[in-house]
Amino acid sequence: MRKHIVAGNWKMNTTVPEGVELAKAVVAKSVEVPSDVELIIGTPFTHLYPVNEVVAGTRVALSAENCADHAKGAYTGEISVDMLTSVGCQYTILGHSERRQYYGETDEKLVEKTKLALAAGLKVILCVGENLEEREANKHFDVCKAQTVNVLKNFTAEDMKNVVIAYEPVWAIGTGKTATAEQAQEIHAFIRKTLADLFGAEVADQVSILYGGSCKPSNAKELFACPDIDGGLIGGAALKADDFIGIALSF
Ligand code: PEP
């Protein structure tokens, strides 16, 4: 059975005190969620240490939103994987479309980041997804395949035990425009087939593939009912504990 996962991506939102309060609310409500659903909150770097104090020893796992593509040294402003594990991080999101779009994140950099993260014992939530122009030009399959293969061809079946994929169509992120369950399922099945071509069907069948893009309590049930959708990567709705937990209750 694949793991069901609901992961929050707070992006650049909340001050540290606000983030700590939000984490406390998520932990308090997490008791409502069946234990087979993994809950993860992804916070800005500044929040990781104090939020870890809140989530440590609970069922809520902690994620960063990015990491450096070097292990250590003269990289001003960057945060290394060892820094992340030292504050209790278990996951890092990598390749979010906002990082690809605004910060020049390339597949080559993502290979380096994924190597460092896995070697440090972090699990990786690797984001893939097409933009609107690519969807309208019917290139979404090619784009998702390239983003998946360019990074993951450098890893082994064993590594894939610690990799989660998030399919996030860029046109659905923060726009209120969700992919239909049919559109999402179609691409999720395609990504799983791409993983099967790389690692074999047995491995592909074990990898959780999350949907992201304006997911909320009102549409999560329909999305999560699809056979290849194993949960969600949640942006806006992760900033309200009720909505985040409401989504986690939608399996
Ligand atoms: C995201 O950025 O990962 C995301 C899915 O955002 P939203 O839920 O706000 O569309």
Split at pLDDT 50, 70, 90, the class of 235 is: very high
Please give the number of the atom of ligand 1 that sits closest to the Cα of 172.
Answer: 10
- Whether 235 is in the pocket of ligand 1, judged by its Cβ within 6 Å, is yes
Superfamily of domain 4-248, CATH level 4: Aldolase class I (3.20.20.70)
Kindly report the protein residue whose alpha carbon is nearest to atom 6 of ligand 1: 235
96 in active site: yes
Name the residue type at position 209: I
In this predicted structure, the answer to whether residue 44 has a pLDDT above a threshold of 90 is yes
> Which candidate in 4, 47, 96, 188 is catalytic?
96
Does residue 89 or residue 174 have the better pLDDT?
A: 89
pLDDT at position 1 is 78
Q: What confidence tier does 228 reach under pLDDT thresholds 50, 70, 90?
A: very high
pLDDT in tens, 62-107: 999 999 999 999 999 999 999 999 999 999 999 999 999 999 999 9
pLDDT given for residue 156 in this prediction: 98
Whether 69 is in the pocket of ligand 1, judged by its Cβ within 6 Å, is no
Which residues is 212 bridged to in the sheet?
233
What is residue 33's predicted lDDT score, i.e. its pLDDT?
A: 98
> Of ligand 1's atoms, which has the minimum distance to the CA of residue 168?
5
In this prediction, residue 177 carries a pLDDT of 85
Q: Kindly state the average pLDDT of the residues 184-200.
A: 98
In this predicted structure, the answer to whether residue 198 has a pLDDT above a threshold of 90 is yes
- Dig out the tokens for 81 from the structure: 């994987």
Task: Tell me whether residue 38 is one of the annotated catalytic residues.
Answer: no
Ligand 1 centroid–CA 105 distance in Å is: 18
The residue nearest atom 8 of ligand 1, judged by CA position, is: 235
From the CA of 158, how far away is ligand 1's center (Å)?
A: 29
Bridge partners of residue 38, in order along the sequence: 5
pLDDT at 178 over 90: no
**Cα of 115 to ligand 1 centre, how many Å?**
25
CA pair distance 77, 75, nearest whole angstrom? 6
pLDDT digits (tens, 9 = 90+) for 120-131: 999 999 999 999
Q: Kindly name the residue from 47, 130, 168, 188 that is annotated as catalytic.
A: 168
231-234, long-range: CB within 8 Å, 24+ apart, which pairs? 231/3, 231/4, 231/5, 231/6, 231/7, 231/37, 231/38, 232/5, 232/6, 232/7, 233/7, 233/9, 233/93, 233/125, 233/127, 233/166, 233/168, 234/6, 234/7, 234/8, 234/9
Distance 74 CA to ligand 1 centre (A): 32
* CB of residue 174 inside a 6 A radius of ligand 1: yes
Query: Quick check: 136 pLDDT over 90?
Result: yes
**Radius of gyration over every alpha carbon of the chain, rounded to an integer in angstroms:** 17
Residues 36-58 have a mean pLDDT of 98
pLDDT of residue 176: 86
